[in-house]
Amino acid sequence: MISGEGPRGLSMKDVAAPSCGPDELRVGVKASALNRADLLQTLGLYPAPAGVPSDIPGLEYAGEVLEVGARVTRWKKGDRVMGLVAGGAWAEQLVTHEREAIAMPEGLEFSRAAAIPEAFITSFDALALQGQLTAGTQVLIHAVASGVGTAALQLCALFGARPIGTGRNAAKLERATHLGLRDTVLVNAEQPHFADRVKALTSGRGVDLVLDLVGGDWLPQTLDAMAPQGTLMLVGLVAGASAEVPLRTVLGKRLTVIGTTLRARPLEEKIAVARSFEQLLVPHFKTTRLAPVIDRVVPIVEAPAALERLAANDSFGKTVLTW
């Protein structure tokens, strides 16, 4: 349960099981994973949307169907599912609309499947569904060592696109190269100016598409690193929620900036994304062209320490919680 006092204020509590509507599944959660939204929520900074458990964090899950509603057609008891929820996944049970649940890739363990939904659906939605990712696209991925970043670089490889990844930690960028990322740009106090290096890696042209998890004071340089008519997908604000934006660059290069978030979308949009993801991308987890990148798997009772590690940017890929 969330106390609002940060990760250390979290505690385990017995609560009533959620009730399962006629179009819903009750899922026995076997694993979940950490997201920055959980961290913010424990600090009282990112309340859950209406209709979602406000006091239980957790935005993604892998588990087993325990019960199906009267009108459910896609699933039966015992099916292995994964997916996104707007909150409440750090619990033994959750309910979700049957069309939001996604079939787990065959042969994958729960603790690996739980690392898929938020990272891969966020990057799939931002890069492919909204950002028109395709073969040859030059893509800049900020914070490439994060869960979303490591998923994004795999999507770039799958789509034949050309990713460049940034990060502030040389060791983590090195690990990203083992996932097939060729071009990395280290950004730190000695080398704060990444735009020129990104342009050098793209023959001076800049990138067509940016997956921006950082925002803040990186934004002017990010815009500078973009090619004419490029698109910036703003999905996170780790570097700050405000930026001094050079509008002449936006206008002169005819750039597009799109803010996006999954959590607060209406049901029909969440379903549409889930269905596209299941159809187009889940098969690739079987062939291992896509694979969850897992920093560590810890028991749910260690969630507070794991959140603090996330806050310190010490992880590479996802931190999974198990029951």
Binding region for a second copy (CB under 8 A)? 215-216, 219, 234-237, 240-261, 264
CA distance 79 to 56: 24
64 token code pair:
């087993």
Residue 171 or 241 with smaller CB distance to a second copy: 241
Nearest distance in Å: CB 243, a second copy: 6
CB 245 within 8 A of CB 217: no
Can you tell me which residue has the tokens 């806050």? 311
Beta bridge partners of 102: 82
Q: Which is nearer to a second copy, 147 or 215 (CB)?
A: 215
The residues, any chain, with a CB within 8 Å of residue 53's CB and separated by 6 or more, are 18, 87, 88, 91
- Of 43 and 250, which CB lies nearer to a second copy in the complex structure? 250
The Cα 207–Cα 149 span in angstroms is 16
Residue 107 CB coordination number (10 Å): 9
- Least Cβ distance, residue 214 to a second copy (angstroms): 10
Which residues make beta-bridge pairs with 297?
Answer: 320
Q: Between 262 and 281, name the residue whose CB sits nearer to a second copy.
A: 262
Provide the minimum distance between the beta carbon of 296 and a second copy in the complex, in angstroms, as a whole number. Answer: 28
- Of 116, 39, 37, 53, give the one whose Cα is nearest residue 87: 53
| Shortest spacing between CB 117 and a second copy, in angstroms | 19
Min dist CB 126 to a second copy, Å, is 11
- Smaller CB separation from a second copy, 259 or 299: 259
Please state, in angstroms and rounded to a whole number, the distance separating the CA atoms of residues 105 and 30: 15
